[in-house]
Amino acid sequence: MKVRIRRELLEYLLQLARNAYPNEFAGFLREKDGIFEEVLIAPNPHAGPRSIFFDTWMLPYDESIKGTVHSHPSPAPWPSEGDLEFFSKFGGVHLIIAWPFTEDSVRAYSSDGVELPIEVVD
């Protein structure tokens, strides 16, 4: 499986990560025709440098949400145990954007933590 994401969305996510630094940010990815095109920012987040918490009950019912994204304000793009637990509850695809928040520091994972290739679509 390859993760396909619009360049415009990827650039926006990188900017969100930079703006949130030194804290994490989180969001939910909307997919259309097999390509991630939009992000829904996590509602009412409580963000810190090592974690972010939000009430998932505040999310709208939205069948186009097929993945999640969050930042790591460190150069480690690998999922933590907490990330893997979260991934297992939401399924789909999960992006982690690590510091220094460049295209090269973005990783995609399946719900069981297996790294997936990313294709940026113009």
Domains and CATH numbers, the chain: 3-121 (3.40.140.10)
CA within 13 Å, CB half, 92:
21
Q: What is the pTM of this model?
A: 0.88
| pLDDT band for position 108 (cuts 50, 70, 90) | very high
CB crowding 35-66: b at 16 or more within 10 Å, else e = ebbbbbebeebebeeeebebeeeeeeeeeebb
Summarize pLDDT for 45-95 with one digit per residue, the tens: 544 455 555 556 556 677 888 988 999 999 999 999 888 988 887 768 999
| pLDDT band for position 40 (cuts 50, 70, 90) | confident
Do 54 and 78 meet the contact criterion of CB atoms below 8 Å apart?
A: no
